[in-house]
Amino acid sequence: MQLRKSRVTDVPLIYELLTELGQKGLLLPRSLSELYDVVRDFFVAHPDGEPETLAGTCALHICWADLGEVRSLAVDSSYCGQDLGRRLVEECIAEAREIGLKRLFALTYIPDYFMKFDFKLIEKNELPQKIWADCFKCVKFPECNEVALVKDL
């Protein structure tokens, strides 16, 4: 499996995977336009020799001077059980450390998964940068059932 930073040619594949999982209620979908805006946030996983097939993706988004978000973690069902999600999250954590972030957070429907990486539960109101930058614009605001977690680096 090849893990690397995403390229603009990956955006349609990322969009397709996030849309599919969003329709199943597993994550919040993202618009194609937004994905092009943040393409450099993403890591992608492609099966060796298959650049037209996306096995998984995850993004590290910088929110503030010391705060980043791990978001849009998605693994195609054909590749579940291969530790791909773990590898993608670990890439985001490593990059966060490399660029000097002090804390990471995630908003998720599967908090137990992120707790495996030492993320701790918090209240969403402890993330005012996120709430006013992104959540406020979401169709699920304020009735969102995502769980907030944070990890100190």
pTM of the model: 0.90
What are the sequence ranges of the domains in the chain? 2-152
Secondary element (H or E) of residue 73: strand 67-75
Classify domain 2-152 by CATH number.
Answer: 3.40.630.30
**What does each of the 153 residues of the chain score in pLDDT, given as a tens digit?**
999 999 999 999 999 999 999 888 888 788 999 999 999 999 999 998 888 999 999 999 998 899 999 999 999 999 999 999 999 999 999 999 999 999 999 989 899 999 999 999 998 778 755 554 554 455 554 566 788 899 999
| Euclidean distance between CA atoms 85 and 130, whole angstroms | 23
Which residues lie closer than 8 Å to 128 by C-beta, 6 or more apart? Answer: none
Tell me the backbone φ, ψ of residue 75, rounded to 5 degrees.
Answer: -125, 130
CA distances from 87 to 34, 49, 55 (A): 24, 19, 12
